[in-house]
Amino acid sequence: MSVSQLLPLILLLPLIGAFINGTIGKSLSKVMVGTIATGVMAISFVLAVMAFMSVQHSEPVTVHLFTMIKTSSFSLNARLFADNLSLWMTLIVTGVGTLIHLFSMGYMKHDAGYYKFFTYLNLFIFSMLTLVLGSNYFMLFFGWEGVGICSYLLIGFWYQDFKNTLAARKAFIMNRIGDLGLLIGLFLILGKFGTLEYAEVAKAVMTEGFEISEMLIFGITICLFIGATGKSAQIPLFTWLPDAMAGPTPVSALIHAATMVTAGIFLTVRSNFLYELEGAHVVKEIILYVGLATSIIAAFIAMRQNDIKKVLAYSTVSQLGMLFVALGMGAYTAAMFHVTTHAFFKALLFLGSGSVIHAMSDEQDIRKMGGLRKKIPVTHMTFLIGTLAISGIPFLSGFYSKDEIIGHSFESHKFVYFALMFSSALTAIYMFRLYFVTFYGKFRGTHEQEHHLHEGPASMTLPLIILAILSVFGGLLNLPGVFLHKGTHWLSHYYAHNVAGPGVAVGEHGDPNTTLMLMIVAGAMAVVIAGITYTIYVTKNSIPKEDDQLKGWEKASAMKLYFDEIYDFLFVKPVLWLSEKGAHYFEGAFLHRGVVSIGKVIGKSGDLVRKIQTGRTDNYLLWMVSGIIGLIVYYIIYYKN
């Protein structure tokens, strides 16, 4: 099959799965529902591999589906675009998505909304594929809104608990703020270029003699970044992502690893030709320092979280911050490398946490766990690999991808380098804390929980094993030049035609000795931190304190630096106050008084008409004669004039 035939199938298969389960899923068995949803994902992944193999050594392929809007000045087309960037993202979305679907078959098997869950999950993947495979910003925006709606449905999946509904609402509203920025940016692009097609906009800005004001390019790029800030959870629009843990754990894995939060990264990399223009340099600095602040703040908050999923949620925010630092430096390939490895180990960690929660009868507080390594050995070993990878332990995937970003900062931004090292140190601390408190020491749960402890079915353990293997060997995709004879990164070469900026790892431009030194320092730091946390939480058997015992920085970390309280005071309460006042005025002054006034007017009119309707013939005759006389007088005056 040709790539032009494969692309529509890759996109539509998840939609077909969602349609089947959404319409007749209730009448099907749970095994059939899960098989359909996972099957279409697996086929989509296989087709994506075929398309990937066909395109990587040839020109990009565009497939026209239909024209949505056509005017004399512009047209909006539904087109699919297969190049190295879009197909790489497609592999991540469908590959990791398939494993998450498979895990969900075992994890959700006792849930009453089983068919509905898989319908939403397939629809989520369809939306993300629309986002990455579209040939223009309009298709991206369509998929962008699609993942937003699906995240709302999945975060609030257990809507019977009002807290989950609030979490879904929070995610939806905060993303709408970012989406407004993105929409304004798209209008600016359309107004200047007359098109939203990536290729046409890129061709225009790269044409010699093309002129665009720096103010306009600043406006376009900052608006696109505002959109990315919402979807990819950067300061100030990051507080929704930890609350997204209200949804089922496979949803958390899908949002954090394979779909939604990477949308902002993809948007920025796809728009790199805009960010390399003169007016965008200030925006890139903003991106860099917003990402840096987000990375450090989120890592600090994660230090004293005790909900196993909340720790991982803040680690995602922190890693996303690091990715935006890479984008701010123009290291687009380094960013995509870390997107890839992060998808592996973060999906592994979230699914691993789901396996722990499943074994612990839905318990999520790590203070009530302990000693689980002997009870759930597969989960333990795979979770350990995920922890080692995200912490930057040498020779696992995260070690190479994080080092690439940190090494790039060493060449161009020394302050950023030390700040990223600090963030990486915090990451290693809270991740090893999470691991040791959960899997070592004595069991601290109830007797009933201990009796129930067991490993999940094969549908849950197999995805963990596959993701663990990818987390170990994923770094081979872009090994630093110091390990290669020619000093060439495979992924850097793969993306060479997709990015306009530096977009390369330090291994290609930096001194090999410096590269090796930086890797040794980063790896040694992670190993030392692992040893220190082992001493604290295993040798000394320390248990995280209760929230009311915390003081100082620990209290601030546990309270998430009071971001929710600050936002509540500055934004939520004033808006609610204005809404209440507005509702009171509208209902009291406008609706109530208006309706009463209209009623009074109608009543008075009725009284007046009632006086005319006396029931006496002589009165009616008098009115008739008066009317006739009036008409005669009118006509006499009219004709006389």
Q: In which band, very low, low, confident or very high, does the pLDDT at 425 lie, cut at 50, 70 and 90? A: very high
In contact, 560 and 458? CB cutoff 8 Å: no
Mean pLDDT, range 514-541, rounded to an integer: 92
What tens digit of pLDDT does each residue of 160-178 get? 999 999 999 999 999 999 9
Of the candidates 25, 225, 198, the one whose C-alpha atom is nearest the C-alpha of residue 121 is 25
What tens digit of pLDDT does each residue of 545-577 get? 888 888 999 999 999 999 999 999 999 899 889
pLDDT score recorded for residue 505: 40
pLDDT at residue 286 above 90?
yes
Does an H or E element contain 424, and which? helix 414-439
In contact, 268 and 395? CB cutoff 8 Å: no
Q: Which residue has the tokens 């070690």?
A: 399
The domain locations on the chain are: 1-135, 136-558, 570-640
For the record, the structure tokens of 1 come out as: 């099959």
What tens digit of pLDDT does each residue of 126-137 get? 999 999 999 999
Q: In which band, very low, low, confident or very high, does the pLDDT at 504 lie, cut at 50, 70 and 90? A: very low
pLDDT at residue 507 above 50?
no
pLDDT at residue 314 above 80?
yes
pLDDT score recorded for residue 493: 74
pLDDT score recorded for residue 488: 53
In contact, 389 and 398? CB cutoff 8 Å: yes
- Nearest-angstrom CA–CA distance, 349 and 468: 9
Q: How big is the chain, counted in residues?
A: 641
In contact, 286 and 214? CB cutoff 8 Å: no
pLDDT score recorded for residue 617: 78
Q: Measured at the alpha carbon of residue 570, what is the angle toward residues 567 and 571, in degrees to the nearest 5? A: 75
Mean pLDDT, range 466-487, rounded to an integer: 79
What tens digit of pLDDT does each residue of 237-249 get? 999 998 999 999 9
- Nearest-angstrom CA–CA distance, 130 and 468: 28
Of the candidates 349, 351, 358, the one whose C-alpha atom is nearest the C-alpha of residue 454 is 358
How many CB atoms within 10 Å of residue 62?
17
- The residues facing 287 across adjacent strands are none
Percent of the chain scoring above 90 in pLDDT: 69
- Nearest-angstrom CA–CA distance, 177 and 571: 13
Of the candidates 457, 490, 455, the one whose C-alpha atom is nearest the C-alpha of residue 379 is 455
In contact, 267 and 227? CB cutoff 8 Å: yes
pLDDT score recorded for residue 125: 96
pLDDT score recorded for residue 127: 96
DSSP code at position 365: B
In contact, 126 and 93? CB cutoff 8 Å: no
Q: In which band, very low, low, confident or very high, does the pLDDT at 503 lie, cut at 50, 70 and 90? A: very low
pLDDT score recorded for residue 637: 83
Q: In which band, very low, low, confident or very high, does the pLDDT at 583 lie, cut at 50, 70 and 90? A: confident
Q: Say if residue 480 is preceded by a cis peptide, omega within 30 of 0.
A: no
User: CA torsion 611→617→621→622, rounded to 10°?
Assistant: -50
For the record, the structure tokens of 454 come out as: 């067991």
How many CB atoms within 10 Å of residue 546?
10
- 202-205 contact pairs (CB < 8 A, 24+): 202/273, 205/273, 205/274, 205/277
What angle separates helix 512-534 from helix 414-439, to the nearest 10 degrees? Answer: 30
What tens digit of pLDDT does each residue of 194-245 get? 999 999 999 998 886 678 889 999 999 999 999 999 999 999 999 999 899 9
Phi/psi class of residue 247: alpha, beta or left (left: φ > 0; alpha: ψ in -120 to 50)? beta
Mean pLDDT, range 526-540, rounded to an integer: 95
What tens digit of pLDDT does each residue of 584-625 get? 777 766 767 777 778 888 888 877 777 666 677 777 788 788
pTM beyond cutoff 0.75: yes
In contact, 278 and 337? CB cutoff 8 Å: no
pLDDT at residue 75 above 80?
yes
- The residues facing 78 across adjacent strands are 66
What tens digit of pLDDT does each residue of 52-73 get? 998 877 788 999 999 988 887 7
DSSP code at position 197: B
Percent of the chain scoring above 70 in pLDDT: 94
Mean pLDDT, range 94-114, rounded to an integer: 95
Mean pLDDT, range 106-116, rounded to an integer: 93
In contact, 457 and 30? CB cutoff 8 Å: no
In three state form, how does the secondary structure of 111-137 look?
A: CCCHHHHHHHHHHHHHHHHHHHHECEH
pLDDT score recorded for residue 477: 85
Q: What is the largest CA-CA distance in the chain?
A: 118
Q: Which amino acid is at 192?
A: K
What tens digit of pLDDT does each residue of 327-381 get? 999 999 999 999 999 999 999 999 999 999 999 999 999 999 999 999 999 999 9
Give one DSSP letter per residue of 474-527, joined into a string: GGGGG--GGGSSS---HHHHHTTTT-SS----HHHHS-HHHHHHHHHHHHHHHH
DSSP code at position 278: G
Q: Measured at the alpha carbon of residue 82, what is the angle toward residues 68 and 85, in degrees to the nearest 5? A: 115
pLDDT score recorded for residue 641: 60
Q: Is 307 helix (H, G, I), strand (E, B) or coil?
A: strand
The mean pLDDT value of the chain amounts to 90
pLDDT at residue 543 above 90?
no
- Nearest-angstrom CA–CA distance, 5 and 446: 56
- The residues facing 134 across adjacent strands are 80
Alpha helix (H) residue ranges in 25-70: 30-55
